[in-house]
Structures are given as C-alpha cells and as structure tokens.
Amino acid sequence: MSRENIVLIGFMGSGKSSAGRLIASKLGWQFVDTDSLIIKKHGIGIPEIFNQKGETYFREEESLALASLQGGDRCVIATGGGIVTRPENVSLMRDLGFVVWLKAGEEVIFERVSRNTNRPLLQTGNPRETISLLLAQRNPLYLSAAQYSIDTSDSSRGEIIDSIIEKAQEYFEAMRRNGS
C-alpha cells in the first residue's frame, strides 16, 4: 500500500535536497535525505564510503535506507541520483508514496556540480562526458519510476514547489477516494 510521502528523484544537481526541504517546511512534514541517513549510519562521507567499501556496497546501503523509511508518513524524501539503478528501489519508493522526478538538462547539471568534489562518480578525467553518459543511462529509469516530473531549468523554485505539492495532494486524494 502506498503511503503519504513525497519521494524526489533525479540526477545529481537537480535540486532534490533544497526543493525537498522547502516542500517539507511548507507542508509541515519531516525532511529526510537518503544520503544523509547513510552518512549518519557510517560516520563518514559519501566519497569515503565509495573509496573504502565501493559503489555496490553504497547501493545496498541506499536500499536499506529506503527500507528503513517504509511505514512512515508525511515525509519528503530526497534520494541520491543513482537510486533508480536498482529496480527494487523503485518498488520501495512507490510503496513510500508519490514519486517526483526533478529534471535538469546536461548544461545546467554541469554548471551546478562542476565545482563540487563531493560526488565520487564525477571525479573522472572528463566529468562533462560522464554526466552525459550517466544521463543517457538514467533518464529512462527516472521517467519510468516517476509519477510526475518537472523541469527545474524552466520554472522558478516557488513554481516547482507549488506544483509538486498540488500534484501530490491530488494523488493522495485520489488514493484516499479509492481506499488504497
């Protein structure tokens, strides 16, 4: 059964955490970030987890973080950009509630993430090309996982937040009417 949470998915730099915080404060809901749950559990940062334990381990931790949120309500959950690469995560997110894809174009993403060294997958010789490759792999996954998507390059932050809240409320209302 799907609950009343909003789950934000999208590529690194798409603004999931900042939008999530604003949505949560507007609704009076709790804000949760799966990366932060993992960091808190391990007491080290994401680059250190990737370095010491590897990406597969990190992906398992992401699934555990999503599983730990099951059964909760009224949370806005920001996820890591790679969460959709595991099909089981998509089911876990659907069980949590309304899944929203924050879309952003390659150029905008590159601008937003290029000065940040906190993302191990982008520490490559050619981050621009890496972004392009990962986007090509992941955009179809975001598309099929999401119940609603919004382009963050086209609208103001306020418009994005309001539109997500409106669509989520319509979705939860329909769920309540259907008794599901």
Q: Which two tokens stand for residue 18?
A: 């900042």
Nearer to ligand S3P, 36 or 147 (CB): 36
* Shortest distance (Å) from residue 4 CB to ligand S3P: 23
The helix or strand, by DSSP H or E, that contains position 103, with its residue range, turns out to be strand 98-103
Residue type, 175: M
Q: Give dist(CA 168, CA 145) in Å, integer.
A: 15
| Closest residue to bound ligand S3P by CB | 80
* Shortest distance (Å) from residue 134 CB to ligand S3P: 7
Q: Which two tokens stand for residue 133?
A: 């490759």
Q: Give dist(CA 150, CA 160) in Å, integer.
A: 7
Nearer to ligand S3P, 11 or 171 (CB): 11
* Shortest distance (Å) from residue 20 CB to ligand S3P: 10
Q: Which residues bind ligand S3P (CB under 6 A)?
A: 12, 16, 35, 46, 80-82, 119-121
Nearer to ligand S3P, 27 or 113 (CB): 113
* Shortest distance (Å) from residue 123 CB to ligand S3P: 10
- Alpha-carbon dihedral 50, 55, 61, 62, rounded to 10 degrees: 110
Q: Which two tokens stand for residue 167?
A: 């669509």
Nearer to ligand S3P, 36 or 169 (CB): 36
